[in-house]
Structure 1
Amino acid sequence: MRKYGGVLVHCCRDDLGLIEVVDTYGVRSLHFGTHPKQSAMSLAEPEKLELSYARAMLAGLLFKPEPRKILLLGLGGGTLAKFLFNQFPECRIDAVEWRAAVAEIAYEYFGLPRDARLGVHVSDVNEFVCAEAERRGEAYDYILVDVFDHQGLAEAVNQQDFFSASRRLLHHEGILAINLWGTQTQSLRQSMSLLNLYFERRTMRLQVPGRGNVIGFGFGQHVERAEIAELNQQAKTLELLLGIEFPRLLRLLSYSGWR
């Protein structure tokens, strides 16, 4: 059966709706009943990050290139979790996914490794970060937020308690990156306003070229502001190490409120 211009290889339904896996010209993608891709993976090069917005979410590595503990909010097909797992062998990764069926698809169809170093938690992301912030605080070097449903940014994310708890969970030298949808202007303004509020305007943003995605970044209190030109060599080094276009991402980064 054909779907979204490709071949439907798996389809199931949970309480929140359809979950579909489609192969199109060598790329496997995850869909939630609509055309937009929630995750994508090259079948020929499954270890690489296929989607440009996922690569853009890692621009924070320019400021902290060796994270030891990462929190992923929103697993999807697990392509970002798998990439980080492979590239940072000393790093512990926690991933939170609301839909158990999505987590199973990540393992079965996208090659997410089952390993003690990569913990997958089936939970509401807001409830998870609030509980974890109360329990331990300042636990993660990098928090990556990519929580969308078939309509856009999940409602649970664009809340004061979510941003407050996420800030408390972040190490004082850590970085939070959140994937936002630029065409949803009201939601985007609200998200960036909350990011600036809870990170005391220590923020940056990146418009992903040719996509509707905007990546917002919030920085811990001990991260030093750097001029873009000062990061050129770091960008070239990371490009060689990780195979991601960091020099281009660096040119697209802009300070939102940080002075």
Structure 2
Amino acid sequence: MRLQGHQGGQPLHTAGEHHRDIAVYDTNELFGQKGRFRVLQFSGDAVQGAVDLDDPARIVLEYPRAIVHLMELNRPAFETAFMIGLGVGTIARHFAGKRMIVAELDGRVVDLCRTHFGLDFDFDDAADRVIVGDGRAVLAEQRAHSFDYVIVDAFTEQGTPRRLLSAAFFALAREKLHPRGMVVLNLIGRGHRDPLIGAAFATLRGAFAHAGAWALAADGASGRSGVHNVLLAGSDRPIDFRPRQMAGFQPFVPAQGHVIADRDDEA
């Protein structure tokens, strides 16, 4: 997810259900970039993904470019990944030759990705598929030590669900990862001043031997009161990155925080 940054647009689809609006539209400007873009947007101000209609293979938004860099650098020959949150299928499409399993809570998003964003997963292939359902529950059903990466890019109107940031969730992710695997999360927050980011980072550090944090600086076009994308990563091996390949994300030290536990209403 990234905060709103378009100017006008031609709607292709709008729908509201379960207290969440979904829109697909074409626009000639996105986060200050000129061109022809197709955008998936939730709840009026949260861009979930975008495709460059003139160059569909190009990764438009910064956070998936940074996630792809972390994945390619830390395990260049990786084979498997589990993703929570489909967006417009950017990362899944980029790694089309890998074994990718994606859990998406909202079936409408899957349908829109197929009809408007060219997602061409073999939905009947047990090794490479999109599953409509709760991401944590779907992950729990997978075999232990079967993934090189677990990627979390899931949002509600309240942000990333706490049950995807808790100690229990990170323990589950660790169980499903290969010993040299990594979990990567795309969050929204205020960097080193954000208490939730600090708590999520503290919880991640409690589950893995190594953890990293990077923030994308907010600007007038895409930021809102200092709110911006934050990436967190955890692994039992050192996490490598190349600053010039992080699409503008800069490393930072999150605020100290408490360990997040599952809430009774989210268990």
Q: Which TM-score bucket, shorter chain as reference?
A: 0.7 to 0.9
Q: Are 2:81 and 2:148, in contact at CA under 8 Å, matched by a contact in 1?
A: yes
Match of 1:214 among 213, 226, 230: 230
Q: Which residue of structure 2 aligns with residue 195 of structure 1?
A: 204
2:57 aligned with 1:54: no
Q: RCO higher in 1 or 2 (8 Å CA, sep ≥ 6)?
A: 2
Secondary structure at 1:37 match in 2 = strand
2:201 aligned with 1:204: no
Q: Which has the higher helix share?
A: 1
Instruction: Provide Cα deviations, 1:89-113, integer angstroms capped at 9, x if missing partner.
Output: 2x11000000011111111111111
Shift of 1:254: 6.1
Aligned-residue RMSD, C-alpha: 2.5
2:100 aligned with 1:93: yes
Q: Are 1:142 and 1:170, in contact at CA under 8 Å, matched by a contact in 2?
A: yes
Match of 2:76 among 62, 65, 71: 65
Cα 1:4–1:130 change in 2 (3 A) is farther
Where in structure 2 are the equivalents of 1:1-259 lying within 5 Å?
5-25=8-28, 26-60=36-70, 61-85=72-96, 89=97, 91-115=98-122, 116=125, 118-132=128-142, 136-183=143-190, 185-200=194-209, 202-210=210-218, 212-219=228-235, 221=236, 223=237, 225=238, 246=245, 248=246, 252-253=250-251
Q: Are 1:177 and 1:217, in contact at CA under 8 Å, matched by a contact in 2?
A: yes
Cα 1:180–1:163 change in 2 (3 A) is same
Instruction: Provide Cα deviations, 1:38-71, integer angstroms capped at 9, x if missing partner.
Output: 1111111111211001111223222111210111
Secondary structure at 2:47 match in 1 = coil
Q: Which runs of structure 1 show a deviation greater than 4 angstroms over 4 or more consecutive aligned residues? A: 248-251, 253-256
Q: TM-score, normalised by structure 2?
A: 0.77
Secondary structure at 1:165 match in 2 = helix
Q: Are 1:59 and 1:250, in contact at CA under 8 Å, matched by a contact in 2?
A: no
Q: Are 1:180 and 1:214, in contact at CA under 8 Å, matched by a contact in 2?
A: yes
Cα 1:188–1:251 change in 2 (3 A) is closer
Cα 1:164–1:170 change in 2 (3 A) is same
Q: TM-score, normalised by structure 1?
A: 0.79
Secondary structure at 2:95 match in 1 = helix
In 1, the alpha carbon distance for the partners of 2:110 and 2:58 equals: 19
Secondary structure at 2:157 match in 1 = coil
In 2, the alpha carbon distance for the partners of 1:14 and 1:114 equals: 25
Q: Are 1:141 and 1:173, in contact at CA under 8 Å, matched by a contact in 2?
A: yes
In 2, the alpha carbon distance for the partners of 1:154 and 1:40 equals: 23
Cα 1:126–1:16 change in 2 (3 A) is farther
Instruction: Provide Cα deviations, 1:172-198, integer angstroms capped at 9, x if missing partner.
Output: 111111011122822211211111111
Cα 1:250–1:46 change in 2 (3 A) is closer
Shift of 1:217: 0.8
In 2, the alpha carbon distance for the partners of 1:51 and 1:10 equals: 21
The one-letter amino acid paired with 2:16 is R
Secondary structure at 1:112 match in 2 = coil
